[in-house]
Amino acid sequence: MADLRINLAGIESPNPFWLASAPPTNTGYQVQRAFEAGWGGAVWKTLGEPIINTSARFAAVHYNGQRVAGFNNIELITDRPLEVNLKEIYETKKRFPKHALVASLMVEPKREKWHEIVKRVEDVGVDGLELNFGCPHGMAERGMGAASGQQPDLVEMQTMWAKEAAKTPVIVKLTPNITDITVTARHAVMGGADAISLINTINSLAGVDIHSWQTIPHVAGKGAHGGYCGPAVKPIALNMVAECARNPQVGVPISGIGGISTWQDAVEFMLMGATGVQICTAAMHHGFRIVEEMIDGLNNYLDDKGIASVEELIGKSVPRYSNWGDLDLNYRVVARINTETCINCNKCHIACEDTSHQCIDMLNGDGGKYLQVREEDCVGCNLCSIVCPVDGAIEMAEAAPAGAPMSWNDRQRTLAKLNAGTAEMEAV
């Protein structure tokens, strides 16, 4: 069995699966049950001045038969008194000393407020702190959450204030509702962050009821923007994690969050630079026991690959993530249709004919009609293999390159050299 333990900036955990700060980590009862089920860590539901929540507060996007393809909420931070949360954190840590227990914090951007809350949660034995600069609604209107997280200077300053008082590692949780996440990530690091976590939820409106014309959800006939998460946001989160992981000016461990539902999703985040992952929507959809399958799946995967420790995965795919300008413009793939498995549904032909490069022909053979790609006209866009309903019926095969490897950046460098040479000759 592989070693599943991780160490995120000094916070140790028996496995990389943590519950994210959200409804599943609202109480000691829940976090203790989660630890019993196998979760390696939990980030407590954000602590701060308790608020009053709205009813209703959740909505989901069900897509083509899949329940909860995306999840939307207008919930705020904890609505329980700080003293109650602190007592339960203390009891939970005492019962589960080897699990990672992190307190998520959100206070007004004032130095003494950060000092006070940091001290109070550290006194009850947390292993680390997560500063919530991410919530897009409600708290933002009060100058906290994403309102702080969208201003790099405020992220840096508040991280610094938390660090001034903190004895445990400080993780800064980032909002995706910005243009370039590496800017806020860098400012968190400049403020002294020991790690970053991302992403919090994405600004969203789940839907509008076309019969009542009410927003979904609505509170007494009015709606407000909420935060989107769940499987739909995974590609956005994965890119943001990768962008931070490959930026040398960030350079701190990353806790990956956003749309993670399976052990495979977790592996992807770790390959792209996350030291561990946090999960909210999948636990809310399926319950705490999904972690059993995640642990088994991850163990089997590592054993099959002969990898002794899960930490060996961290960042292995990061060097493969680059800028568009570094991609080889002469590399070519072409589509090949396997006539043995093709069911002649024609989806690829229609997609190619209507919306791509018109290179899939419908031909007549001895056995009837069949589809074939004119490889010389295929641009290797992948669309036919994406719309094909039969796994493996369309293969994207490597074809002879159009020339020696050459990227846009190579091209620009060569042109610049040529221009410099011409200018030199003209000068002579």
Ligand X SMILES: Cc1cc2nc3c(=O)[nH]c(=O)nc-3n(C[C@H](O)[C@H](O)[C@H](O)COP(=O)(O)O)c2cc1C
CA angle, 254 then 256 then 261, to 5°: 160
Instruction: Judge whether 419 and 403 are in contact, CB under 8 Å.
Output: no
- Helix (H) / strand (E) element for 123: namely helix 111-123
- Helix (H) / strand (E) element for 227: namely strand 226-229
**Interface segment toward ligand X; rule CB under 6 A; list 92-100, 256-264, 298-306, 308-316:** 256-264
SS3 call for 198 = strand
How far is residue 401 from each of residues 9, 73, 104, 378, 396, measured CA to CA in Å?
44, 48, 51, 13, 14
Minimum CB distance to ligand X smaller for 276 or for 348: 276
Binding of ligand X by 158 (CB under 6 A):
no
Please report, as residue ranges, which positions from 323 to 362 form the binding site for ligand X (by CB under 6 A): none
How far apart are CB 266 and ligand X at their closest, in Å? 11
Binding of ligand X by 281 (CB under 6 A):
yes
- The correct pick among 6, 171, 174, 280 for binding ligand X (CB under 6 A) is 280
Binding of ligand X by 99 (CB under 6 A):
no
Binding of ligand X by 279 (CB under 6 A):
yes
CA nearest 163: which of 105, 87, 213?
A: 105
Binding of ligand X by 136 (CB under 6 A):
no
How far apart are CB 398 and ligand X at their closest, in Å? 35
- The correct pick among 35, 39, 71, 114 for binding ligand X (CB under 6 A) is 71
Cis peptide before 199 (omega within 30 of 0): yes
How far apart are CB 331 and ligand X at their closest, in Å? 33
How far apart are CB 289 and ligand X at their closest, in Å? 16
- How far is Cα 293 from Cα 297, in angstroms, rounded to an integer? 6
Which position has the token pair 């293969």? 395
- The correct pick among 28, 38, 41, 134 for binding ligand X (CB under 6 A) is 134
Binding of ligand X by 204 (CB under 6 A):
no
Minimum CB distance to ligand X smaller for 104 or for 177: 104
352 is catalytic: no
Catalytic residue among 135, 244, 384, 388: 135
Q: How many alpha carbons fall within 13 Å on the CB side of residue 17? A: 29
Please report, as residue ranges, which positions from 21 to 40 form the binding site for ligand X (by CB under 6 A): 21-23
DSSP 8-class letter at 175: P
Q: Would you give the distance in Å from CA 96 to the centre of its chain?
A: 27
How far apart are CB 393 and ligand X at their closest, in Å? 32
Binding of ligand X by 20 (CB under 6 A):
yes
Instruction: Judge whether 105 and 132 are in contact, CB under 8 Å.
Output: yes
Binding of ligand X by 73 (CB under 6 A):
yes
Cis peptide before 56 (omega within 30 of 0): yes
CB atoms closer than 10 angstroms to residue 157 = 18
Binding of ligand X by 196 (CB under 6 A):
no
How far apart are CB 367 and ligand X at their closest, in Å? 47
Minimum CB distance to ligand X smaller for 36 or for 79: 79
Binding of ligand X by 138 (CB under 6 A):
no
Which tokens is 203 given? 């600004």
- How far is Cα 127 from Cα 102, in angstroms, rounded to an integer? 6
SS3 call for 407 = strand
Give start and end residues of each alpha helix (H) in 169-289. 181-190, 234-245, 263-271, 281-286
Binding of ligand X by 159 (CB under 6 A):
no
Please report, as residue ranges, which positions from 292 to 321 form the binding site for ligand X (by CB under 6 A): none
Binding of ligand X by 173 (CB under 6 A):
yes
- The correct pick among 126, 170, 260, 298 for binding ligand X (CB under 6 A) is 260
Stated length of the chain: 428
How far apart are CB 158 and ligand X at their closest, in Å? 14
Residues assigned a catalytic role? 135
Which residues lie near ligand X (CB under 6 A)?
A: 20-23, 45-46, 71, 73, 75, 77, 104, 132, 134-135, 173, 200-201, 229-230, 233, 257-260, 279-282
